[in-house]
Structure 1
Amino acid sequence: MASDPPPFAPFEWMIAWRYLRARRAEGGVSVMTWISLVGITLAVFALIATLAVRSGFRSEFVGTILGANAHVTVYSTGTLDAQGRLDRTIAEYDAMAERVAQVPGVTRVAPLVKGQVLASLGSNSSGVEVFGISAENLVSLPGIAQSEQSYGDLSRFDQGIALGSGVARAIGAGVGDRIKLTSPNGVRTAFGTSPRVNAYEVIYVFTAGRYDIDRTRVYLPLAEAQAFFNREGVADELEVMVADPENVDSLAPDILRAAGDRTQSWTWRDASGGFLRALEVEDNVMFIILSILVLIAAMNIVSGLIMLVKNKGRDIGILRTIGLTEGAIMRVFFICGAFTGLIGTCMGVILGCLFALYIDPIFSFVNYMMGGGVWDPSIRGIYNLPAELHLSDVMSAVGLSLGLSFVVTLFPARRAAQMNPVEALRYE
């Protein structure tokens, strides 16, 4: 006695392939198949492109934060001075920095003096934030010292000042120019406090990759900043870098214990937590919206299969009468729908990956066609549209597309399998 053929036997694939490539005149639905194929392709392409841009944007944003800002900032809670004013400076900053540097996972500790002043050159002026830092600590900041778009000689930092590229453009300064810094809280005299104005040579212009940093930040040597802001012998805070910034929250308590009493910490997650949470919410919403887009594209497969089942009623009746089981009929039409989803998903993955890999020339072309100004760094904070391709993102898009394609195919395939062969052949 002959055994039943196994599921998805070669003849089932042969019949399914015959139906897929059939022309309209032969009762096929090739036009609907192409519409389904294009729909799945575009939906998967949009999903992968969006996930890649999302990952790239977060990576670029976090990278520019970590490259030019402290991972953890340690500052004093303050003490009352002789006049009853709250003094939040750190007097023993060298000893505190040594203790914090001993914490496992800490890679760098730098005392800072900070203040806001007016930078000017000729008739141009701009408000800036001054960071007083030692030369060796500034060199260890990758976003400042290792930027490919920076120019000047950072080894001469002790002899001048380092400007963000946005500040340099705003006041028209370049390497070798002497700019003036004006602080309202300057020289203390018997008649009060008069503004302090000092001139410094620009020895370095950096591009950190973040518009807000490049547009406002200026670096001065620590000793010069202490004198300029009346911070002789003290620092405002400690800038701490760690080996694993993503795990900074677990290191913060150890850093505080090493810093001593009456200190507080502020991590990069605290500073940018609102924006990062907004990114996560936007990521989830975009994934849901694009998943609905994939579902709509997959529904085209249902329409095509329902039409195919209707047109192939006579064929189904004949196949049933010659011995094909309901399961075989169901698998034939399941293959038709699933094969469309599979090919569309593969094409969408290829297009999405190419978009992520060649996003720079694509975006340049779009910017050229739109006449420029498509991307405003003053609003978005970074200078270009990033994309970063992750295997997990691609696999999630593939899994979603194939899963929906296979599921929606079951209904029309089941309908074909349950068709009564007598009714199908009654009027033939």
Structure 2
Amino acid sequence: MILNRYERIIAKRYLLPGKGEGERFIFLVSMISLGAVALGVAALIIVMSVMNGFRAELFEKTAGLNGHAILTGYDGRITGWQQVAAAAAKVPGVTSALPLIEQPLMASANGRVEGVLVRGMRVQDITGNPVLTGGVKSGSLSNLKPGCNCVAIGTRLAAQLGTFPGAEISLISPEGRDTPIGTVPRIVSYTVAATFEVGVYDYDNAFVIMPMEEAQTYMMLGDAVSNIELKVTDPDKVDRQMPALRQIIAGRGEATDWRGMNAAIFEALEVERVAMFVVLSLIILVAVFNILSSLIMLVRAKTRDIAILRTMGASRKGMMKVFVTVGTTIGTLGILLGLILGAVFLFFRQPLVNAIQWLTGQNLWDPSVRFLSELPSKTDPVEVTVIVLTAFVLSFLSTLYPAWKAASTDPVQVLRYE
């Protein structure tokens, strides 16, 4: 919107507080409107970034440990897995097919017993997994070798069992050997070689990693495995590979993608994300009504000035441009302030959470409830653009009625008794 010189002067004059008490009150209402727009924009950016961060972090952790799809054998056993993995790796879009053994068991140490999820992996797959290698807290994954009789465990599981690298834990399987007095659980002791933390509470509290050969021996699988983990080039389009993968495992097991493995979590996040966007957009809508009310008050306060300007040759279009500019300027300044507030909050989000926890004495970020150990964030430029455009368009629309009222002012009626 292009304003000529006198229109710019008038718009600037109406944006700044005047000397009268009424004008100062209108300016205060305008500043409240600006602040409300800023808070609405900041709240939307912060919440959407945190929700995106939740999804990205959960996906990174779960996919890093479980892959984008998985082939599971019936009865937890895939014999001849080498041929199945080779066939799966040839499916277009599949980048890797890795064998796994996974079994829920019990672990005991220092008189404590915890439920665990034991995972057997090839040594090269353990050391080549960035989620595991990047999360080592003590010990070394290089100690995990066939025949070492050792395991790596999550940090929270280590804390629950009171164990550490070099100590021993016992794995207990209910599928033991038959004896004259019944089935005796199979109990084998292993040395803890390392502890790791991937940042997902359920994994850090339950995972036990061991070389595949050790797992096959303990679970008496021979050369079989229980799962084959697959990764694809585009995880969001993994459904394209699923028909071929189901055909490969047909009659021997089933194929599941990452959506099916984590459907409840990701669907809940998506629903909550949409709901939060709609609810927080109401803050901007309320701020827009504040802009509307402040402009209406400004038009009423400046009716005589508008009439004089009209008699001096100001056009209706010019008056509309002045008040549209005033309203959109308030909205634009609020948007810019909201962007700054959102960026500052996201940058210092974890220190702020820690400070609030320290002040209140409450654990606001319990990882057992929220899965992740830190507040995540991932800002999507497209979403930020949508938020900014939404706020700007609503601010612009709120100026049209007051601007039209100002342009409709009849100088004859206003100045008749002046």
TM-score range, shorter chain: over 0.9
**How many percent of aligned residue pairs carry the same amino acid?**
36
- 2:49–2:378: 8 Å Cα contact kept in structure 1? yes
Question: 1:212 and 2:202 equivalent?
Answer: yes
**The one of 406, 418, 427 aligned to 2:408:** 418
Long gaps (5+) in structure 1? 1-5, 79-86
The answer to whether the 8 A contact 2:36-2:283 is kept is no
What does the per-residue CA deviation read over 1:55-75, in whole Å, with 9 as the maximum and x for residues that have no partner?
111111111111221321112
Judge conservation of contact 2:104–2:115 (CA < 8 Å) in 1: yes
Structure 2 residue corresponding to 1:124, chosen from 112, 119, 134: 112
Q: Which residue of 2 aligns with 1:358?
A: 348
> How many Å apart are 1:48 and its aligned residue?
1.2
Q: Deviations over 1:238-277 (max 9, x none)?
A: 1222233222221222333444654320111111122212
AA partner of residue 139 (structure 2): G
Comparing 102-111 with 263-272, greater Cα deviation is found at 102-111
**SS class of match (2:119):** strand
In the alignment, residue 136 of structure 1 is paired with which amino acid? Answer: Q
- Residues in 2 aligned to 1:116 and 1:334: alpha-carbon distance in whole angstroms: 66
Shift of 1:145: 2.0
Unaligned runs of 5+ in 2: none
The alpha-carbon deviation at position 142 of structure 1 amounts to 2.0
Contact 1:97–1:259 (Cα < 8 Å) also in 2 = no
Shift of 1:27: 5.4
In the superposition, the TM-score normalised over structure 1's length comes to: 0.92
Verify: 1:11 aligned to 2:6, yes or no. Answer: yes
- Which of residues 70, 74, 78 in structure 1 aligns to 2:71? 74
Which residue of 2 is the match for residue 140 of structure 1? 128
RMSD: 1.8
The 2-side partners of 1:56 and 1:167 are apart by: 25
SS in 1 for 2:104: strand
Larger deviation, residues 272-281 vs 378-387 = 272-281
- My pick for the range that moved more, 42-51 or 376-385, is 42-51
In structure 2, the partner of 1:155 is 142
1:335 aligns with 2:325: yes
Identify the range of structure 1 (313-322 vs 235-244) with the bigger mean alpha-carbon deviation: 235-244
Task: Work out whether residues 103 and 258 of structure 1, in 8 Å CA contact, stay in contact via their aligned partners in 2.
Answer: no
Which amino acid is the alignment partner of residue 123 of structure 1? Answer: G
Could you say what secondary structure the match of 2:262 adopts? helix
Q: Tell me which residue corresponds to 2:43.
A: 46
**Higher mean C-alpha displacement, 160-169 vs 188-197:** 188-197
> Counterparts in 2 of 1:299-378, with a 5 A limit?
299-378=289-368
Matched, 1:182 2:172: yes
Instruction: Indicate the SS of the match to 1:117.
Output: strand
Aligned residue identity for 2:142? S
Using the alignment, how far apart are the partners of 2:181 and 2:112 within structure 1? 30
Moved more, 179-188 or 294-303: 179-188
SS in 2 for 1:219: strand
Aligned runs of 1:260-299 on 2, under 5 Å?
261-299=251-289
SS in structure 2 of the partner of residue 150 of structure 1: strand
Give the residue type in structure 1 aligned to 2:57. Answer: E
2:34 matches 1:34: no
Q: Give the CA deviation at 1:40.
A: 1.2
Q: Which amino acid aligns with 1:90?
A: I
Aligned residues: 413
Deviation at 1:189, TM superposition (A): 4.2
**2: distance between equivalents of 1:192 and 1:298?**
75
Which residue matches 2:369?
Answer: 379
> How far apart, CA to CA, are the structure 2 residues paired with 1:96 and 1:71?
17
Say whether 1:90 aligns with 2:85: no
Deviations 1:26-55 (A, max 9, x none): 752221221111111111111111111111
2:43 is matched by which residue type in structure 1? A
Partners of 1:67 and 1:141 within 8 A in 2 = yes
The one-letter amino acid paired with 1:127 is G
Contact 1:27 1:312 (C-alpha < 8 Å) held by counterparts: no
Contact 2:78–2:252 (CA<8 Å) still a contact in 1? no
Note if 1:251 corresponds to 2:248: no
- In 2, Cα distance between the equivalents of 1:286 and 1:116? 37
For the pair 1:195 / 2:185, whether they are aligned, the reply is: yes
Q: Secondary structure at the match of 2:20?
A: helix
CA pair 27-114 structure 1, distance change in 2 beyond 3 A: closer
Quote how far apart the aligned CAs of 1:88 are.
5.0
Q: Deviations over 1:144-172 (max 9, x none)?
A: 1222x532111111211111111111101
* 1:213 CA displacement: 0.8
Shift, 1:7, TM fit: 5.3
- d(CA) in 2 for partners of 1:416, 1:48: 35
